[in-house]
Structure 1
Amino acid sequence: MSGVGIGQRPENRRQRAVKVMWTAVWLAYLGAPVNDLLHGGHAVGVQVLGWTGLGCFVVWYMLLLFRTGRGERTGLVLGSLAVLAAESTLLALTLGRAWLVLFVYVSIASGAALPPRLARWTIPGASALLTALALVVPGGSSFIAGLLVPALLGGFAMTGVRELIRTTIALREARATVARLAANEERLRLARDLHDLLGHSLSLITLKSELAGRMLPARPDEAARQVADIEKVSRQALVDVREAVTGYRRPRLAEEIAGARAALTAAGVSAELPAEPGPPGVPEESEAALAWALREAVTNVVRHSGARRCVVGLLHRRTLEGPVLELSVEDDGSGDPTAGHTPGNGLDGLTERLEKAGGALEAGRVRGGFRLVASVPAGPVADIGSGA
């Protein structure tokens, strides 16, 4: 990913650079102090002190913003804001009205670094100190209107951003918890089903094995019948397990759509996907084949295409052979999954799976990218009109 999501910390150098650049954009309003140092006619010593003070202010401000939400004590944050306010006061009193803009950043840092219950006091406090100094510094009263509104709006806007970040983090944690609970529930269900499927069969196999052992060598014919029963029971148990595993492995279209959205987003690909998994009444075999097609297509987009955009469409239409559900996946990449593929894998295997379900696959280069179209029988859908 090229950027950093809301509530997410940078994970690599590129993301850190993006965050620094995004934050540094708002330092453009420090042009007034910089212009004052360059053209304000100050002595060399005053200029050196001014540049040093401005540099220290920017570094302290950036550290305060970047450390926000990492568990710092409120007292430490309040102390840091007090240092910024004191430095801003000193620079404004000694160097002039152009330095009053620093209080806008003090207000913004208050909203970003403090909880709302404290920020609602520190933001007006910083704005009040700005107003008081503007009345004291020569010519500063003309700056009140231009600086007071940004200080108040910027500070309180940052409290909203802070709450948004906090809520987003809480939602991510809740989503992870739900996923863990769902996985645990699925494991418990699998354990229960395997117990129900195999418990009786294995018990019967054990019992008949003991009987056959006791019958040998005195009654070999009866022992042979017990061994035949053991073979019959074990074969049936194997069939039951295979059917259960097939049911667990059968993908669902709704789940694959959600997984495709997550995979494409994680790969930095702009994704357009259907909101619904299709009409009701689609046979399970058809839905599973279409879900496999979506998984294979998205995997190719992420791994091989180099695409920046991917559009997934799902269309229900009627043909002479009956209703058909059609899945299309189109990207704007330069890769071609059909080039150099191994027979039996990838698109070949997908074609076989779709044909087994009574469907078909079309895939190839189109203008500006690659397009895959998979269609399967949708079965009779009585409540669907002429199309969806």
Structure 2
Amino acid sequence: MTADHNGADGSERTVRLGWPPRTRREMYVKILWIGVWLVFLASPIGDLVGGHHTGAATAAGSVGLAAFVGAYLTLVFRNMGRPFSAPLVISLTAVLGVLAPLLAYTLGSAWLGLFVYVSVACGATLPLRAAYWAVPAVAVVMYLVGLHSNEKEARGLFLLVLLIGFAMSGVGQLVRTTIELRKARATVAQLAANEERLRLARDLHDLLGHSLSLITLKSELAGRMLPGHPDKAAQQVADIEQVSRQALVDVREAVTGYRRPRLAAEIAGAQVALTAAGVSAELPADPDLTGLPEEIEAALAWALREAITNVVRHSGARRCAVELTRHQTLDGPVVQLTVEDNGSGGPGTGPGNGLTGLTERLEKAGGTLDAGRFKHGFRLVARVPAGTARHVGSGA
């Protein structure tokens, strides 16, 4: 959390649930997760290799098993996160539903494990209501086919087929909910951006509409007065200059307000950033910032932003605590922002550009910055004079 170094934040190290893989690493993780379940293919493969069937039956079984595995992997791996169309899902599920009983009935009880994959496919890809009917149907078909070869093994697999199918229904629903939640968040962000643009447009209209209208009116008036009454025209020009200067001052003040960060917004942003990076966050629940000067609040907001950025990008921490308190000192009341994490503090040996710039920013506001490692991790403490602020509040 000490220095600014190039590198991806913690959120990029996490495989996104319900999304297609973005990197080779994510693809390997998803392949491994799906490949673990291929353990149930050990019995069919062993049955083929063991020479228990004629040459024609072995060849047909090999082709059927390859087609079954191909359809299963295509349906489950490809459909998760970027769903196929409903007809294609139904078609691939039907292929699995035909091959599993056909192979198990003709080649023996060693192939009953294929019904586990049919149940997984139904639970993971079908709508929830359809899966509630399809999974028990798969279990019943498996049991009926098993009566032909090995009823005891069929009874043992019956409960497994049911449980794993319904479990995958829950996973599939979780994936779909996660995708919908991400889309909703993107929509909310877009709406917030649109609202901000509308607010900016309203502010500019309120700031400049009257001033520009007055400048236009006085310019036309000065133009008409210029030939016969140059002294009155000069007065109108002077008024134009005064109005334009005031408009410029208003615009500069407005732009300064837009650029100044707000501490409440930074706390909310810190919660989102830490959660996305997999860091347990302890933040002020509802800090009271009433009466805190804008310059002081902006300085603390910059300090929090820099601290959270370093925690996410460099520290490797799993926990981060932010505390906002007010202390009485010999020099007067002081507002203190403390950010602690249990990480390494980053690979840097000294303060980076971010902390150096933050120190200078706090000094301009009359504050100080202390940052460094301590026994449990890394701590950043920013102190600024409270001015006329009342109780600020603290969080755990």
Say whether the fold is shared (TM-score over 0.5). yes
Q: CA deviation at 1:347?
A: 2.8
Task: Please point out which of 144, 161, 171 is paired with 1:132.
Answer: 144
Q: Residue 329 and residue 289 in structure 1: after superposition, are their counterparts in 2 closer, same or farther (change >3 A)?
A: farther
Q: CA deviation at 1:326?
A: 1.4
Provide the C-alpha distance between the structure 1 equivalents of 2:34 and 2:324, rounded to a whole number of angstroms: 44
Provide the C-alpha distance between the structure 1 equivalents of 2:221 and 2:87, rounded to a whole number of angstroms: 78
Q: CA deviation at 1:195?
A: 0.8
Matches within 5 A, 1:233-248: 233-248=243-258
Q: CA deviation at 1:89?
A: 2.1
Matches within 5 A, 1:17-96: 17-38=28-49, 49-68=60-79, 70=82, 72-96=84-108
Deviations along 1:145-195, whole A, 9 cap, x unmatched?
321111111112222222222222222222222222222122111111111
Alignment correspondent of 1:110: 122
Task: Please point out which of 339, 347, 370 is paired with 1:362.
Answer: 370
Task: Please point out which of 165, 182, 186 is paired with 1:172.
Answer: 182
Provide the C-alpha distance between the structure 2 equivalents of 1:40 and 1:371, rounded to a whole number of angstroms: 67
Q: Residue 340 and residue 357 in structure 1: after superposition, are their counterparts in 2 closer, same or farther (change >3 A)?
A: closer
Q: CA deviation at 1:62?
A: 1.0
Question: Secondary structure of 1:67's partner?
Answer: helix
User: Structure 1 residue 4 and structure 2 residue 15: aligned?
Assistant: yes
Alignment correspondent of 2:316: 307
Provide the C-alpha distance between the structure 1 equivalents of 2:391 and 2:316, rounded to a whole number of angstroms: 39
Q: CA deviation at 1:107?
A: 1.0
Alignment correspondent of 1:293: 303
Provide the C-alpha distance between the structure 2 equivalents of 1:26 and 1:51, rounded to a whole number of angstroms: 19
Question: Secondary structure of 2:358's partner?
Answer: helix
Alignment correspondent of 1:328: 339
Q: Residue 51 and residue 350 in structure 1: after superposition, are their counterparts in 2 closer, same or farther (change >3 A)?
A: same
Provide the C-alpha distance between the structure 1 equivalents of 2:220 and 2:340, rounded to a whole number of angstroms: 58
Provide the C-alpha distance between the structure 1 equivalents of 2:228 and 2:319, rounded to a whole number of angstroms: 73
Deviations along 1:100-124, whole A, 9 cap, x unmatched?
1111111111111111232222212
Task: Please point out which of 138, 141, 144 is paired with 2:151.
Answer: 141
Contact 1:361 1:373 in 2 (8 A): yes
User: Structure 1 residue 122 and structure 2 residue 134: aligned?
Assistant: yes
Q: Residue 368 and residue 45 in structure 1: after superposition, are their counterparts in 2 closer, same or farther (change >3 A)?
A: farther
Q: CA deviation at 1:317?
A: 4.0
**Mean CA deviation greater in 253-262 or 140-149:** 253-262
Alignment correspondent of 2:381: 373
Provide the C-alpha distance between the structure 1 equivalents of 2:55 and 2:125, rounded to a whole number of angstroms: 35
Alignment correspondent of 1:318: 327
Q: CA deviation at 1:294?
A: 1.9
Q: CA deviation at 1:270?
A: 3.1
Mark the runs of 5 or more structure 1 residues left unpaired by the alignment: none
Provide the C-alpha distance between the structure 2 equivalents of 1:377 and 1:130, rounded to a whole number of angstroms: 74
Q: Residue 52 and residue 317 in structure 1: after superposition, are their counterparts in 2 closer, same or farther (change >3 A)?
A: farther
**Mean CA deviation greater in 164-173 or 193-202:** 164-173
User: Structure 1 residue 15 and structure 2 residue 26: aligned?
Assistant: yes
Instruction: Name the amino acid aligned to 1:350.
Output: L
Report the identity percentage.
Answer: 55
Q: CA deviation at 1:198?
A: 0.8
Aligned Cα root-mean-square deviation (Å) = 3.1
Superposition TM-score, scaled by structure 2 size: 0.83
Alignment correspondent of 2:7: none
Alignment correspondent of 1:253: 263
Instruction: Name the amino acid aligned to 2:190.
Output: R
Alignment correspondent of 2:281: 272
Deviations along 1:62-81, whole A, 9 cap, x unmatched?
11112336454434333322
Q: CA deviation at 1:333?
A: 4.3
Instruction: Name the amino acid aligned to 1:64.
Output: L
Question: Using CA pairs below 8 Å that are at least 6 residues apart, which structure has the higher relative contact order?
Answer: 2
Provide the C-alpha distance between the structure 2 equivalents of 1:77 and 1:188, rounded to a whole number of angstroms: 44
Q: Residue 382 and residue 3 in structure 1: after superposition, are their counterparts in 2 closer, same or farther (change >3 A)?
A: closer
Instruction: Name the amino acid aligned to 1:362.
Output: D
Task: Please point out which of 202, 214, 237 is paired with 1:192.
Answer: 202
Equivalences, count: 379
Contact 2:359 2:369 in 1 (8 A): yes
Task: Please point out which of 345, 357, 374 is paired with 1:349.
Answer: 357
Provide the C-alpha distance between the structure 1 equivalents of 2:131 and 2:327, rounded to a whole number of angstroms: 61
Q: Residue 50 and residue 270 in structure 1: after superposition, are their counterparts in 2 closer, same or farther (change >3 A)?
A: farther
Q: CA deviation at 1:324?
A: 2.1
